[in-house]
Structure 1
């Protein structure tokens, strides 16, 4: 049931796509898109009918960029009601309900964790201001190191892959906990006036 529902940032509601619905319900993607087109006003009653333009797969001959619709929970539920009640569709309904519920719980916890982390981040920036051995560009470099250790990705990679404006808004709950742990270590080391190389060395082993 992985990758049925997606989430971009902390202020956007979870969504699925017409492609996911077509694949998992064993329906033709074109037919699903026709349903959305024919009932566009119905879907818009439950929010903006958003989409992204996706490029053809590499190696495919020709082809134009295609709309991939982003459907919120209500829109996805409505779309499924327009599909035939096959065993595949019925099973997918249950899977999708479960994933929307799980993702909404994840979103709530991420919002809480992000709010809790902000004062801690201020503690780090305050400590850096008093850090006698702070090198140039330390704020950016410290954040990059913490993000890399917590997620395996740079800030730019997180923004691009997870479609967020602020990298910290793109972390999962597990990554947030890891980031918070590393940030606490950094605050302690900076408070002890360790060198940047010493701080990096400890964080890379943490």
Structure 2
């Protein structure tokens, strides 16, 4: 917290406006990074995918979990992930940096882990697992938090983007990794469960009121 030099009034860095600015900056820089990596990747004939893409059920593939969302098949692949990443990521970021980082981490590792365990024999790249994870987080967190505003947002998001959930089904699109989508979505749900408010027992609440 800082003081306003003009009136001595406290200002906080956690206002909705500050969070909105921070969210746009973080998501914008991340998307710019994805495009920059893809430009370098394309210039090397996508040789980086063979190095940093996720190779299922291989010892080296465990390290690929840390890198595979940063690489894509082409610029169109990056573009298809960019807008939903910004939208969903921004909405999650509005709940705070800790919530955002938790949702991203669970989506990232959930997506990579499931691909490593049951993915096909090819190399998997792309940030769509993060998209599905953040989307799933937004869909379910209101129900865990018992927050009607968050539930209303989840309904709006489902009506607008719910069609992407078909991407978690095997065989719907042969050229995409449904394992990455499903793993990311499961990670997002797990993050929402972890971050739900803890209920204080009624006996403890009564004790705290008396004290």
Higher strand share: 1
TM over 0.5: no
Structure 1 length-normalised TM = 0.27
Structure 2 length-normalised TM = 0.27
Higher helix share: 2
Instruction: Report which of the two structures shows the higher radius of gyration computed on alpha carbons.
Output: 1
